[in-house]
Structure 1
Amino acid sequence: MKADMEHWASRLAALAAEAKVPGASLAFWHDGQVHKCAAGVLNTATSAPVLTDSLFQIGSITKVWTATQLMLLSEQGRTTLDTPVIDVLPEFRLGDQQAAAAITLRNLLTHTSGIDGDLFLDTGRGDDCLRRYVAACADAEQTFPVGDSHSYCNSGFVIAGRVIEQLTATTWDQALRDQICAPLGLTHTWTLPEDVLRFAAAVGHDEHGAVAPQWGLPRSVGPAGLICATAADVVTFGRAHLTPGALLADPAAMRQAQVDLPNPYAGGRQWGIGWSLDEWDGRQVVSHTGDTIGQHAALWALPEVGTVIAVLVNGGDSVAFQHHLVSELLQELHQLRVPAPLGPPAEPVEVDVDAFTGVYERAGSQIHVTSRDGRLCLRTEPTGILVGLAQPRTLDLTAVDATTFVGRTDGDSMWDAVVFENRPDGRSYLHYSGRATPKIS
């Protein structure tokens, strides 16, 4: 079906208003062309309008770009996904040096390294910032043994970025331009603020619509989440993953399942190389989302129908907004039904919750799980550099089955899924927000 862009511009504006999203940009590839529209403002303090060529922070979608860079180097024979990191970075150290010696590039790109990896450390603006970040990981602990499970790991992608620097003899930022931006003709994709400032760029906003206290993350976490781009550039990148030879000889290799996710209710059932993998209405969907300080991005690609969609926003109830928008869009274009997120069951489920209470902790977050009257309550507290940037959250949990719960904060329309895991060896984990958080007490 041909896209009616007057209709989609109207729906983008209406859905953004309902979700209190200050500004949004939509682009999608369908029927042989890129369609794009925009709505709202880049900054509530200035009322500068969002244009289709405005740049937003795409956050962790950057990880797919970093994974693509390593896949390109692998196709060129300069490394392999099963090369140990220490073979490229002999100086690589962790708190558990046996783990450091065992971690491969594949472990980094599939979040199976086990590194406790939400270290948002500012190591300066110099070209040596990734080298210094990797050196600072020498005390990082293991959440689980290498390859034993899946836990979203920002640090792993910074380490991957440093591998790229070593193999290309340049900075990660320059390698990104050389390997991806230049070949695809991307003129509105940048990583450093001095480059972004040459364009109309969004700022993040808090839940009340106020401008966020900080514009961006430090350069040292670049390979994990520092790209700024237009929605159209993100779509062009996504299309390259459906087109052999556009970048990679075999982009489908990145869409092959590598690990099942312990919490399959939060955006995907499996993980590939850099991509989250799912199935909607019988069709494969590869995707990634990205959160920065008050900005949120989402990229979906459907290989079987060739459609690629990118939605970039700078605040508001972003998750609900993006879900409603992509649901309407795919229903209109392909009569494809996007599954609703997991919610409470129709009938209450009785669960003995006492085994799940306690304190769970990982880098950047401490989670307290308490019970009252047979119900669980989860409260997250940011720690370290995230204090003041990430907000505490409290979820009253409702059981879906013996180990799966859902909850949402006041004002949110979407439910979050939480999965508890008690292992036979005595280890216990809480799987939430893509992370495996070990129980410490």
Structure 2
Amino acid sequence: MAEAVEPRRWHARLEGLIAEYEVPGASLAFLHEGEVHEFAAGVLNVDTGVEVTTDSLFQIGSITKVWTATQIMLLVERGELTLDTPVAEVLPEFAVADPEVTKTVTIRHLLTHTSGIDGDLFLDTGRGDDCVEKYVRACADLPQNHPLGVTQSYCNSGFVIAGRVVERLTGKVWDAALREQIIEPLGLTHTWTLPEDVLRFRSAMGHMDGRPAPVWGLMRSGGPAGLICARPADVVAFARAHLGTGLLTDPRAMWEPQVDVPNPHTIGKQWGIGWILNEWEGRLIVSHGGNTIGQAAMLWMVPGSETVVCLLANGGHTAAFQQALATELFDDLLGLAVPPVLGPPAEPFETDVERYAGVYERAGTRMTLTVRDGRLALFAEATGALAGLQPDLAFDLVPVDDTTFAGRPEGEPQWLSAVFYELADGSPYIHLGVRATPKIA
């Protein structure tokens, strides 16, 4: 077991893996047998050549959502609301396009991605302390991606709304409440949300196609959904607190399954409160990932073993990089096999692909599926504020069974999975990238 955490070995492995997956720089921290081990490799920015160190800050992206969910749970434990409190009870001014959802959507819906609110509204409402308040006001026009509570679809907007709930109940802007509720109680010194604080440290620049991304970060209004910057050791300390009572009296309440994920092949089988839940060889895995503009983050926790792993990277083939490192690390630490990524079946599977052709659309993304030479082809384009900051995707979908498909964009080592399914009312959807997208034509 000691060999698994031998510093020179893991530093060499991190260097080898970033070279293999064309990652400019990465930082790794893991808690195992009571000790935290930290490693760094590569550069923060290929233009400056500044080296990654273990105290460098990366954007942890949507791992932030677990922090926001924890803020809500702290307020729940104080008796200030419940998970089933309607959002409108805390925020009377809150509204979305559907008046019935406006009245009935709950905190639980927000934290489990089951609200159905079309969730990828990236809207710059300025740099002021009222940016989250302004964002929530702009949600009045957001339509439903699916009816309330009937399925799971990743919803950034829901977590910004949850952040506004935190603001209302604490009387502080989200960033300040985060510091008071979590960052300062845990003694975290390298966890920040605003660029003027981040620039006081070594900080990573995202990369796209091997070059620095066109912008450093997302708009401040998205803070509660994904704007924390941190070193991996701080993220590990946050997760470690969830293994005991360092923050919450009962953090395990956040691991209770709330909804099945229609496509269980991407990142997990179920969603808890904030956390993603999976199972490897019969063991519970509690996790969350995050992607921003050219940066990618992953956090895994194995309850019972007291093992936590955080991996942060700033570009390259990050999904394959994360999979490769996790596969090797968890085998060494725990003898635990990470499930392989779903790919095409060994023997070709024949099914009627014509039924899935059409246009699927939600806020931020339009997907066009066509059939050519008997193969189902997908073309996905970003719309809205992120158009131009995210590349279009085009690849064939290979059937694994009647409803499950695998596809791989050109030049990518890792396969993606897609599941076609229908709601109880017969409405057709594709579940890809942890999001449900309805067929509109």
Matched position secondary structure for 2:402: coil
Provide the residue aligned with 2:269 in structure 1: 269
Inter-CA distance 355–424: structure 2 relative to 1 (3 Å threshold)? farther
What is the CA distance between 1:424 and its match in structure 2?
Answer: 5.6
Paired amino acid for 1:21: V
What is the CA distance between 1:373 and its match in structure 2?
Answer: 2.1
Paired amino acid for 2:36: V
Provide the residue aligned with 2:197 in structure 1: 195
Provide the residue aligned with 1:170 in structure 2: 172
Matched position secondary structure for 1:429: strand
- Deviations along 1:197-220, one digit per CA (max 9) or x if unpaired, are 00000000002x110000000000
Provide the residue aligned with 1:428 in structure 2: 428
Q: Larger deviation: 416-425 or 227-236? A: 416-425
What is the CA distance between 1:423 and its match in structure 2?
Answer: 4.1
Matched position secondary structure for 1:12: helix
For residues 4 and 328 of structure 1, the distance between their equivalents in structure 2, rounded to whole angstroms, comes to 14
For residues 403 and 205 of structure 1, the distance between their equivalents in structure 2, rounded to whole angstroms, comes to 34
Provide the residue aligned with 2:320 in structure 1: 320
Paired amino acid for 2:142: A
- Deviations along 1:25-55, one digit per CA (max 9) or x if unpaired, are 0000011111001000000000000000000
Provide the residue aligned with 1:229 in structure 2: 230
- Deviations along 1:61-117, one digit per CA (max 9) or x if unpaired, are 000000000000000111111100000000011110101111100000000000001
**How many residue pairs align between the two structures?**
439
1:367 equivalent to 2:370? Answer: no
What is the CA distance between 1:422 and its match in structure 2?
Answer: 3.2
User: Which segments of 5 or more consecutive residues in structure 1 lack a partner in the other structure?
Assistant: none
Alignment of 1:170-319 (within 5 A): 170-207=172-209, 209-243=210-244, 245-319=245-319
For residues 337 and 426 of structure 2, the distance between their equivalents in structure 1, rounded to whole angstroms, comes to 41
For residues 31 and 266 of structure 2, the distance between their equivalents in structure 1, rounded to whole angstroms, comes to 25
Contact kept in structure 1, 2:206 and 2:216, CA below 8 Å: yes
Provide the residue aligned with 2:12 in structure 1: 10
Contact kept in structure 1, 2:136 and 2:161, CA below 8 Å: yes
Q: Larger deviation: 323-332 or 165-174? A: 323-332
For residues 395 and 434 of structure 1, the distance between their equivalents in structure 2, rounded to whole angstroms, comes to 18
Paired amino acid for 2:309: I
- Deviations along 1:241-278, one digit per CA (max 9) or x if unpaired, are 111x2000001100110000101101100000001100
Contact kept in structure 2, 1:352 and 1:374, CA below 8 Å: no
State which of 105, 108, 113 in structure 2 corresponds to 1:106: 108
Provide the residue aligned with 1:399 in structure 2: 399
For residues 224 and 328 of structure 1, the distance between their equivalents in structure 2, rounded to whole angstroms, comes to 30
Matched position secondary structure for 2:212: coil
For residues 322 and 426 of structure 2, the distance between their equivalents in structure 1, rounded to whole angstroms, comes to 39
Provide the residue aligned with 2:377 in structure 1: 377
For residues 430 and 364 of structure 1, the distance between their equivalents in structure 2, rounded to whole angstroms, comes to 15
Provide the residue aligned with 2:414 in structure 1: 414
For residues 359 and 139 of structure 1, the distance between their equivalents in structure 2, rounded to whole angstroms, comes to 22
- Deviations along 1:403-427, one digit per CA (max 9) or x if unpaired, are 1000011111111000111346341
What is the CA distance between 1:6 and its match in structure 2?
Answer: 1.1
Paired amino acid for 1:415: W
Q: Larger deviation: 44-53 or 419-428? A: 419-428
For residues 263 and 322 of structure 1, the distance between their equivalents in structure 2, rounded to whole angstroms, comes to 19
For residues 20 and 424 of structure 1, the distance between their equivalents in structure 2, rounded to whole angstroms, comes to 43
Q: Give the TM-score taking structure 2 as reference length.
A: 0.99
Provide the residue aligned with 1:32 in structure 2: 34
Paired amino acid for 1:217: L
Matched position secondary structure for 2:62: helix
Inter-CA distance 311–69: structure 2 relative to 1 (3 Å threshold)? same
For residues 226 and 18 of structure 1, the distance between their equivalents in structure 2, rounded to whole angstroms, comes to 28
For residues 422 and 92 of structure 1, the distance between their equivalents in structure 2, rounded to whole angstroms, comes to 30
Provide the residue aligned with 1:128 in structure 2: 130
For residues 379 and 254 of structure 1, the distance between their equivalents in structure 2, rounded to whole angstroms, comes to 36
Matched position secondary structure for 1:421: strand
For residues 433 and 102 of structure 1, the distance between their equivalents in structure 2, rounded to whole angstroms, comes to 27
Provide the residue aligned with 1:161 in structure 2: 163
What is the CA distance between 1:374 and its match in structure 2?
Answer: 1.9
For residues 145 and 424 of structure 1, the distance between their equivalents in structure 2, rounded to whole angstroms, comes to 10
Paired amino acid for 2:229: C
Paired amino acid for 1:60: S
Provide the residue aligned with 1:142 in structure 2: 144
For residues 223 and 390 of structure 2, the distance between their equivalents in structure 1, rounded to whole angstroms, comes to 18
- Deviations along 1:174-225, one digit per CA (max 9) or x if unpaired, are 0000000001000100000000000000000002x11000000000000000
Provide the residue aligned with 1:152 in structure 2: 154
Contact kept in structure 1, 2:150 and 2:423, CA below 8 Å: no
Q: CA RMSD in A?
A: 0.7
Inter-CA distance 51–145: structure 2 relative to 1 (3 Å threshold)? same
Paired amino acid for 1:325: L
1:23 equivalent to 2:37? Answer: no
Contact kept in structure 2, 1:86 and 1:92, CA below 8 Å: yes
Contact kept in structure 2, 1:295 and 1:314, CA below 8 Å: yes
Alignment of 1:91-102 (within 5 A): 91-102=93-104
Provide the residue aligned with 1:90 in structure 2: 92
Provide the residue aligned with 1:115 in structure 2: 117
State which of 49, 52, 74 in structure 1 corresponds to 2:51: 49
Matched position secondary structure for 2:325: helix
Extract structure 1 runs of 4+ deviating beyond 2 A.
422-426
